Amino acid sequence: MEKKIHFVSFDIPYPPNYGGIIDVYYKIKELSKLGVKIYLHCFAQKNAKKQIELEKICEKVFYYDRNNFFYSLFSLLPFRVKSRSNHLLINNLKAIQAPILFEGLQSTYPIYKENFENCYVRAHNIEHTYFYGLAKSEKNIFLKIFFYIEGKKLYKYERIVKKATGIFTISPFEQHYFNQKYGEKSTYIPVFFDENKNNFHVSETQKFILYHGDLRVSDNVRAALFLIETYKKTNYQFIVASNCKHKKIISEIQKYRNITFEDIPNQKDLEILLNKAHINTLISFQKTGIKLKLLNALFKGKHIIGNSKMIEDTGLENLCELANSKEEILAKTAMLFNKDFSASEIEDRSDKLTFLQPEQSAKKIIDIVFKQ
């Protein structure tokens, strides 16, 4: 029996170079390998380039422009939903009879307008709590207000998932939330990633501590500043790495001899740093989804220190050292700094991460959607 499915993506899922879109791309790729025909619908800014790599793994790719900024901003619907409202998308979904997977709440406008049978929502976050967290971390007053209002809209809009056949959650934390609120219609499907690149290495460690993150995100900026404050009066070499420079972060780093900034323009540069660092210290002030930076550190790095909002309810707690305060972070750093990361620890970590294998997750989706 031929299997085909619509994917509605909030962005063009290639290149897979940031959190949510990594999950989308490798999910499509894995399902395609298992023989599922993919009809991909993706939103983008105007004049975005079509991606040939997507044509190789999809039966057909449809591109849609995002709507006018101001028109969407003042809608009663959340901005990220309204800006992706498109009636041509709805018509294209109706034209080909197949199950539909909506990537994130922001892609679900067709469910809002119509009734579709056999449709599913991939919950990348609990969206309203994510935006409340952004509002709390943001310093720009206009963005702070926007994030708070968007969070309020998303809280009301979230009930749209009741119209879906099922929900695919990305972490145990989201699984508990959606099950409790909407009944037993959600299934935990771990995050998809590039399994081929995630190979453990035993390399000569270098005595530095690493934090990496996208410094265009306010939560990451707040985390980096917190860690600079934590390590600034120590003798530890601390590196902040990002693919973009943030003026305040750079200004703070320049005050201390033991702290440096590393530009990482591509994934390979990040992998080299992860493999060399003795400790990855990962902090978040928002408990949402599962952080791809944590998976990167687990598969490519050595010792990991993380706070509660980074590691709890991820299923990965036993692979990290928990520390929430500056004092706790420094105590864990002292404990780990001269501790080797051995081959046996690598083997143990590898065994404990088998539940994240993308092929297993893709087969679970197939079993649910096509009811084998």
Distance CA 311, CA 290 (A): 8
Distance CA 49, CA 108 (A): 23
Nearest CA among 30, 60, 66, 32 for reference residue 48: 66
pLDDT of residue 157: 97
What's the pTM? Answer: 0.84
* Enclosing H/E stretch for 278: strand 277-282
Q: What is the CATH number of domain 206-348?
A: 3.40.50.2000
Is CATH 3.40.50.2000 the right assignment for the domain spanning 4-195? yes
Q: What are the Cα distances from residue 18, in Å, to 21, 24, 214, 270?
A: 6, 10, 9, 13
Domain limits of the chain?
A: 4-195, 206-348
The sign of the dihedral angle between the CA atoms of 112, 286, 192, 319 is: negative
CA angle 288, 296, 129 (to 5 degrees): 5
Q: What are the Cα distances from residue 98, in Å, to 84, 108, 120, 204, 281?
A: 21, 16, 12, 51, 44
**What single-letter amino acid sits at 241?**
A
Helix (H, G, I), strand (E, B) or coil at 339: coil
Residue recorded with tokens 């101001």: 70
Q: 4-195 with 206-348: one CATH topology?
A: yes
pLDDT of residue 127: 93
Q: Give pLDDT tens digits along the chain (372 positions).
A: 789 999 999 999 998 877 788 899 999 999 999 999 999 999 987 777 789 999 999 999 999 998 877 767 788 999 999 999 999 999 999 999 999 999 999 999 999 999 998 999 999 989 999 899 889 888 899 999 999 999 999 999 999 999 999 999 998 889 999 999 998 889 999 989 876 654 555 455 568 999 998 898 888 999 999 999 999 999 999 999 998 899 999 999 999 999 999 998 877 888 889 889 999 999 999 887 677 788 888 888 899 999 999 998 888 888 999 999 999 999 999 999 989 888 888 888 888 888 888 999 999 999 999 985
Distance CA 362, CA 341 (A): 32
